[in-house]
Amino acid sequence: MTLYQLEAFALVAKLQSFTEAAKELGVGQPSISAMVIQLQKELGIKLFEKLGIKSHLTEAGKRLLQRAQTILALVQEIKDEMEELRGLKKGKISVGSSGFGTSLILQAVEKFKEEYPGIDVNLTFQASETLHQKLLNGELDVALLGRHIESPLTVAEPYRDEEMVFISPPKHPLAMKRSVPLTVLAKESFISYEKSAPVIKLIEEKFATKGIAFKPRVEISLAMGTRDAIKNAVSRGLGISILTKCHILSDVKAGRLKILNVPEWKVKRTLYITFHKRRRDSSWVRLFVDFLKGYKSD
């Protein structure tokens, strides 16, 4: 039994004519008759009986028609759903971001939803290592990671470079200086993410290239994902810190923070668009990745 046989059978039942059904399907009348005859042989029961010039359903034919209509309606639903997916009108995508990309991904998803209102976006914010594992497990489609994690199973495309800057409260003594040497910064009270955070390693490596040991006088470590807490601590005069420039511009404009001029410090962090190689050809992954690449943040 095939879908085409059921379609032909249902059409004959509707029109009560093999000839008219053949015309609507654009085939010869013998073809329609042959399909119905074959269907009756497979089922072992007669489906039509001739009364005058019309073909009427037998009791078995009536029962089969109910089933056939249900099946054909479901097939049409499947076709419609697949058409929507091909047209990228409706669907769901799971996206993750490390703390580094939080502000950007929130803005990007807001614009994405305006352009593709039928696509649901599930957002997850965690550390890069955790997000990468979720990509490997198939729990995420795309992730913005604050660092490149080597893996033969994932693709990591450099997305954006963001400048790292030292910040202080506006009235801090260093904020008044035209330039600040790294040797001075190394002795300041420092507020940062937890000791294991990638940015700490980045700072230590940069200081080491200048032959300077990074040993702050006081070090206040805050848990991952507490950028606002760091900015608040700095603005209250508890110490200096270092954050990506894009995350503190509004605070600088509002007069809560000051960017220190450190000529020796030219460091940028790269944000990576990362996804599993198996999903490289996924329509949803391609759509979202292409959108991100073309997105201009405010």
| pLDDT (mean) for 57-66 | 92
The pairs formed by 237-240 with CB atoms below 8 angstroms and a separation of 24 or more are 237/169, 237/171, 237/172, 238/189, 238/191, 239/188, 239/189, 239/190, 239/191, 240/166, 240/167, 240/168, 240/172, 240/174, 240/185, 240/188, 240/189, 240/190, 240/191
The pLDDT value given to residue 99: 80
Of 126, 249, 269, 274, nearest in space to 198 by CA: 269
130 versus 85: the higher-pLDDT residue is 130
Residue with tokens 């997105």: 295
Does residue 171 carry a pLDDT above 70?
A: yes
Note the pLDDT of residue 60: 93
- With 60 as the cut, is the pLDDT of residue 222 above it? no
Over residues 116-129, the pLDDT tens digits come to 888 899 999 988 89
Give yes or no for residue 196 having a pLDDT over 80.
Answer: no
Phi-psi region of 224 (alpha: psi -120 to 50; beta: other; left: phi over 0): beta
Structure token pair of residue 225: 């994902």
pLDDT for residue 220 is more than 90: no
Position 174 pLDDT exceeds 90: yes
**pLDDT attached to residue 224:** 46
> Where residue 132 falls among pLDDT bands split at 50, 70, 90?
very high
Residue 154: pLDDT band (50, 70, 90) is very high
Higher pLDDT, 86 or 130: 130
What's phi and psi for 82, nearest 5 deg?
-65, -35
Q: If you compute the radius of gyration of the chain from its CA atoms, what whole number of angstroms results? A: 33
Return the pLDDT at 272: 96
Q: Which residue has the higher pLDDT, 97 or 118?
A: 97
pLDDT at res. 295 = 87
How many alpha carbons fall within 13 Å on the CB side of residue 288?
30
Q: Measure the CA dihedral 70/72/77/78, to 10°.
A: 120
> What number is the average pLDDT over the span 200-227?
72
